[in-house]
Amino acid sequence: MTELIPRPRDVVADSGEVRLTAHSRLYAGSATEGVGHWLRTVLREATGLPLREGREPDDTDGDGIGLRLGPGLGPEEYRLVSDRSGVLIEGGSAAGVFWGAQTLRQLLGPDAYRRAPVNRGRTWAVPHVTIEDSPRFPWRGLMLDVARHFMPKEGVLRYLDLMAAHKLNVFHFHLTDDQGWRVRIERYPRLTEVGSWRTRTKFGHRASPLWEEKPHGGFYTQDDIREIVAYAAERHITVVPEIDVPGHSQAAIAAYPELGNTDVITASVTGGTALSVWDSWGISPNVLAPTDNTLRFYEGVFEEVLGLFPSEFIHVGGDECLKDQWRVSPAAQARIKELGLADEDALQSWFIGHFAKWLSARGRRLIGWDEILEGGIAEGAAVSSWRGYGGGIAAARAGHDVVMCPEQHVYLDHRQADGADEPVPIGYVRTLEDVYRFEPVPPGLDVSAARRILGTQANIWTEVMEDQARVDYQAFPRLAAFAEVAWSALPAPADRDFADFGRRMSAHYRRLDALGVAYRPPSGPLPWQRRPGVPGRPLDGPPPNR
């Protein structure tokens, strides 16, 4: 009962338990019907119990479950009471009820996460307890990069379930990059016909001599995207798409060469004269040309994206845009002069600012990586602070909303230990405890600036994650620690009780087992999780901005 993750705000235990039986009913009040459908479905699968529909809140005979809205509760706040009357979950909204239902699932034990009963004769019981809980941040995110290595739709739906189980509520969907374009745009079919696949793939870090000599690719149809967005919404998760501009765009330029700086464009790494989708890692020098044609093209892209994703925020990337081509391109230099801009940084700011205004006119908001601060940030834009805390601090103090996701703390592609068996070691060592001690709100912000921190996000970049099992390994168990940081009101990092978290994780590993998650065991990687001989990019010493 005390082995819950994330840790609830208040737990008061009592003696006794509510036993679910073949006679138990589940009542879902007004506005909670969707939660009721979800809960009935997953519990029927796991328990084999019918959980027939209740007609009134008290139609449970002391052995059922009731769901309803509760007056006075915050939007994502919930109250779970298990007593002689049965189990009642109240929330300030359907989202709050849903998070309470996730807690109920944990209380039922690890087997409640299975797709079919493993022991039909067992007793399913919820201990008598009162839990009152609410999240610290409204933005509790996970970014998944499907551009470097494509994850099929079923894998994405699975990750939405894993997010929901950990009370994460924003799915940042990184859909385009130099190595692949993953969403079908009907008016520009070559983006997926050409841009969604590459002829081969670097295996390991970009300095690795190893290659996987076979095509890699894939994309989501628009109906796939609609399904993903609807599936997420049923789990009270918002999907924020990312369409990267003006850098990280080689796949788009390979499909439509006129988008590139055609007067200076760099040939593909294969030595050919035509640019191809990039097959290696790093930062491509091939960036979008700052032309009206490029603006109109991406307005067309974003028009279709807005029709697929109802989210308030649309992510435009804006990171790691190498400006070497702009510096030597006569056309780009002429554009800088025409616009009266100071330099190439200001040109990128103009490019991003155009789409900030374009999105604002359509009732949406632009969010980008912290490089969008360079050259001046557009009014109303929000910042994903990834290069440490600095960009987020500057943005918050300037009155912009911020999502804290510093590389040094919550990039889950970074290695989890410094042992020789760690598969494809990337970056700094970020242990489970390191992630648990991450603090999203940096010290020194005044109250007004601190309020600009919308929340936090863990990022999974997939250059060295060739399949779902590798993503699982890098994400878990650290994503469980991150989820607690994002949800729970924890003490200062040095005062956090990691021993207690570790005790609760011992139960949580069994939940992950039931969910089929290929996590990194506490003792280190299993033999098949290793990648002997595949070079990574380990960095030594403590990470900066720690």
Give me the amino acid identity at 206: R
pLDDT at 268: 41
Q: Are 246 and 239 in contact (CB under 8 A)?
A: no
Is 400 one of the catalytic residues? no
Active-site choice (236, 248, 315, 508): 248
More confident: 320 or 2: 320
What average pLDDT does the structure give for the chain?
Answer: 95
- pLDDT recorded at residue 91: 98
Confidence band for 1, pLDDT divided at 50, 70 and 90: low
Average pLDDT over residues 2-25: 96
Q: Catalytic annotation on 401?
A: no
Secondary structure of 373-407 as H, E, C letters = HCCCCCCCCEEEECCCCHHHHHHHHCCCCEEECCH
Structure tokens at 373: 């601060």
**Contact criterion met (CB below 8 Å) for 206 and 282:** yes
| CA dist list (Å): 95 to 70, 140, 236 | 12, 13, 6
- The answer to whether residues 213 and 545 touch, using CB atoms and an 8 Å cutoff, is no
CA dihedral 301, 303, 308, 314 (to 10 degrees): 80
Nearest 10 degrees: CA dihedral of 479, 381, 174, 261? -150
Average pLDDT score over residue span 172-181: 98
| d(C-alpha 213, C-alpha 397), whole Å | 49
Q: How far apart are CA 365 and CA 295, in angstroms?
A: 17
- In the prediction, which pLDDT does 119 show? 87
Q: Both tokens of residue 480? A: 């469980």
- 177, 224, 279, 371: the catalytic one is 177
- Name the CATH topology of 10-133: Chitobiase; domain 2 (3.30.379)
Q: What pLDDT, in 10s, does the model give residues 91-130? A: 999 999 999 999 999 999 999 999 999 988 899 999 999 9
Q: How far apart are CA 59 and CA 37, in angstroms?
A: 17
**Rounded Cα distance, 248 and 30, in Å:** 46
Residue 57's pLDDT is what? 61
Sign (positive or negative) of CA dihedral 458, 463, 469, 473: negative
320 in active site: yes
What letter does residue 428 receive in the DSSP assignment?
S
* Active-site residue identified among 3, 58, 83, 320: 320
Say what the pLDDT of residue 286 is.
97
Express each pLDDT in 495-519 by its tens digit: 999 999 999 999 999 999 999 999 9
Tallying the residues shown for the chain, one arrives at: 546
pTM above 0.85, yes or no: yes
- 415: pLDDT strictly greater than 80: yes
Q: For 85, how many CA atoms within 13 A lie in the half-sphere containing its CB?
A: 10
Please name which of 396, 289, 304, 410 lies closest in space to residue 351, comparing C-alpha atoms. 289
pLDDT of residue 270: 39
Residue 393 above 90 pLDDT?
yes
3 state SS of 308? helix
Pure H helices in 290-444: 292-308, 324-328, 330-339, 344-360, 390-397, 407-410, 432-436
269 confidence band (pLDDT: 50, 70, 90):
very low
pLDDT of residue 59: 55
Cα dist from 519 to 107, 277, 515, whole Å: 22, 31, 11
**Band of the pLDDT at 58, cuts 50, 70, 90?**
low
Q: What is the DSSP letter of 371?
A: G
Q: Tokens representing 341? A: 């801009």
> Span 301-320, mean pLDDT?
98
